[in-house]
Amino acid sequence: MSDASDSLQQLLAFDSQHIWHPYAAMPNPVETFLVEKAEGVMLTLKDGRELIDGMSSWWAAIHGYNHPVLNEAIKSQLDKMAHVMFGGLTHEPAIKLCKTLVEITPEPLQKVFLSDSGSVSVEVAIKMALQYWLSQGKAEKHRLLTLKGGYHGDTFATMAVCDPVNGMHHLFDKVLTQHLFAEAPSCFYAGTDGNDNWHASHLDNLKDMLQQHHHEVAAVILEPIVQGTGGMNFYAPKFLQGIRELCDEFDVLLILDEIATGFGRTGKLFGCNHSDSPERNKEFSPDILCLGKTLTAGYMTLAATLCTDKVANGISQGEVPVLMHGPTYMGNPLACTVANTSIELLLQQKWQANIKRIEQGLIEGLQSAKEIKDVADVRVLGAIGVIELEQPVDMKTIQPMFVENGIWIRPFGKLVYTMPPYITDNRTLSLLCQKINNVLESYL
C-alpha cells in the first residue's frame, strides 16, 4: 500500500502500469505528468514546473481553477446535502438550474433531463427521439442521420453516430447500430466579420438522404457550427438553418450536441445562436439539445438534455408513458449548485466582449503558424484556436515538448488546438500562442 512518502517516480510508475488513461494503451507507453495543484490558468506539476493551461481541462474549466466563488458555493452546499436520489425527491439546486437552462436556451426547449456525463446526455437524446416515434406508432423511424466528421461520445449509442471512417470507433462497426452519414459541411464559417463560402448546394447531399430515408429517420444529430473532436471544423450558420428547414419538411427531429460549444465558447452563448435570424426576429431552436463539459466549469460531472413540449408530450402519451432512463447520480446537488454559480459568473460579466478579446488574441498569436512547414491550416472562432497539420502528430514526441515549454496543450490526430479558460489575460494568451508556435517550429 502506497503512502504520502512515495516518490514522484514511484507514483508515475504505478500510474503507467495500472491506471488506464483516455485513449491510452496498457501499460501506458506515453509519458504522463503528475499535477500537484491548479490555480487560475496555471497547472503546477509535482516536480514544481508550472504550465499555462491551454485546454481548460478538455474545454470545461472556463473560469480557471480554484475559483473562490465556485469553491464557496460547493462548500456551502456540502454542509446541507451532498447527494440525494432524484427518484421521487427533488431539491432547490436542481430546480434553480433547470429553470435557468429553460430561460437561457432557445424558447421552445422547456423540459430538462439531468444526467452525469456528456455521452449520457447524447444517449438520452437518442432515446428521446426513438421513444417519441415509438409513441407515435412509427416504429420504422429507428435510425439517425448525422454528418461525417462528427463526434458525440464514447458510449455505444454515441459511438454509432461518430465519424465512421476517421473517428475512433471503426473497430466496433460490426456491433454498432448502423446509421446514416451525410457529407461533412464544406462551407467554412468566416465568423461575424467575414464572408462564408455558403451556397444552398452544400445541403444537397443531406437533402437527398432525407428524401430517400425520411420514413426511417427518427432524428438528425450534429454539433452546431463547430465539429469538435471529429476535426475542429467550423461551418456556416446557414448550413444549420437549412438543416432545420429540411427536418421540418421531412418530419424528422433535430438533435444538437452543444457539449463542446455551449456557454460562450464560440462567441455566442450557444453554438446554435449563430443561426438565429435577427432580420426575421426568429430564434433558432432544435427539438432536443445536449449540454455538458462547461456546465459546471470543470468542478463536477454533470450534463443535461433539453427537449420541446412536443417531444416530451409525445413520449408521455405513448404506450410506455415515461422516459426510460434514470442515472443514480442524476441531479446531484453539489453539481447543480456549482453549475448555477458558474452560469451566474459567466452571465454577470461582459462575456461576449471577453470572448471577442480572446478570439482576437488567438488570431494575432497563431497567424505566424501559417508560415511553418507542414501546417495545412490555421483557424479561429471565439475562444477556439486550431492549427491543422499535414500529418498526425507523434504524441510521445510532441507532448513533452509542450511541457518543456511551459504550456499544456493536448493535440489529437493532425490537430494542435487550444481552448483556453475565459480568464486568460492578454499577456498569458500571447505567451501561450508564442510557445505553441515555437514547439511546432521545432517539432516540424
The DSSP result for 69-137, as a single string, is HHHHHHHHHHHH-S----SS---HHHHHHHHHHHHHS-TTEEEEEEESSHHHHHHHHHHHHHHHHHHTT
Q: Is 14 inside any structural domain? A: no
Q: Is residue 16 part of a domain?
A: no
Same domain, 288 and 160: yes
46 lies in the same domain as 123: no
State the residue for C-alpha cell 508560415: 371
**Separation between Cα atoms, residue 227 and residue 259, nearest integer Å:** 11
Q: Which of 114, 67, 59 is nearest to 86 (CA)?
A: 114
Residue 408, domain member (yes or no): yes
Q: Which DSSP symbol is given to 239?
A: H
Claim to verify: residue 416 and residue 299 sit in the same structural domain: no
The owner of cell 492549427 is: 387
Q: Are residues 382 and 302 in the same domain?
A: no
Q: How far apart are CA 360 and CA 209, in angstroms?
A: 39
Backbone angles phi, psi at 388, to 5 degrees: -100, 125
For residue 183, the one-letter residue type is: E
Query: For the domain that residue 408 is a member of, what is the CATH number?
Result: 3.90.1150.10
pLDDT at 278: 79
Identify whether 267 is part of a domain. yes
19 within some domain: no
Round to whole Å and give the CA distance between 145 and 241: 16
Are 185 and 281 in the same domain? yes
Same domain for 148 and 47: no
DSSP 3-state of 242: helix
DSSP for 329-376, please give it.
Answer: TTT-HHHHHHHHHHHHHHHTS-HHHHHHHHHHHHHHHHGGGGGSTTEE
Q: What's residue 192's pLDDT?
A: 54
Please answer whether residues 222 and 152 qualify as being in contact, where contact means their C-beta atoms are separated by less than 8 angstroms. Answer: no
Active site residues: 23, 151, 257, 293
C-alpha cell read off for 337: 449548485
* Number of domains composing the chain: 2
Owning domain of residue 422: 33-66+352-443
What's the pLDDT at 4?
Answer: 55
Asked if omega into 27 is within 30° of 0 (cis), the reply is: yes
CA dist., res. 77 & res. 58, Å (int): 26
Beta bridge partners of 89: none
d(CA 150, CA 232) in angstroms, rounded, equals 9
The residue among 321, 347, 373 that closes a domain is: 347
Q: Is 174 helix (H, G, I), strand (E, B) or coil?
A: coil
Residues 159 and 256 in one domain: yes
pTM: 0.95
Percent of the chain having pLDDT more than 90? 87
Label the pairing between strands 217-222 and 143-147: parallel
| 262, 213 contact by CB (below 8 A) | no
pLDDT value for 282: 84
Each residue of 76-86: b (16+ CB within 10 Å) or e?
Answer: ebeeeeeeeeb
347, 373, 393 - which closes a domain: 347
Query: Residue 262 in contact with residue 291, Cβ under 8 Å?
Result: yes
> Do residues 235 and 297 share a domain?
yes
Strand partners, 44: 37, 50
- State the Cα angle at 397 between 414 and 17, rounded to 5°: 110
Q: What is the dihedral of CA 397, 398, 400, 402, to 10 degrees?
A: 160
Is 12 inside any structural domain? Answer: no
DSSP 24-56: --SS--S----EEEEEBTEEEETTS-EEEESSH
Q: Which sign, positive or negative, has the C-alpha torsion 209, 169, 161, 226?
A: negative
Let me know whether 158 and 229 are in one domain.
yes
User: Which residues 6+ apart lie within 8 Å of 336 measured at CB?
Assistant: 91, 93, 94, 96, 97, 114, 302
Residues 359 and 438 in one domain: yes
Name the domain boundary from 312, 331, 347. 347
Pick out the chain residues at pLDDT < 70. Answer: 1-5, 166-169, 191-195
**Claim to verify: residue 365 and residue 328 sit in the same structural domain:** no
Domain holding 234: CATH number?
3.40.640.10
Interhelix angle 426-443/395-404, rounded to 10 degrees, is 140
Q: Is residue 13 part of a domain?
A: no
The answer to whether position 24 is within a domain reads no
Contact in structure between 263 and 100 (CB atoms under 8 Å): no
* 159/175 same-domain check: yes
CA distance 242 to 247: 9
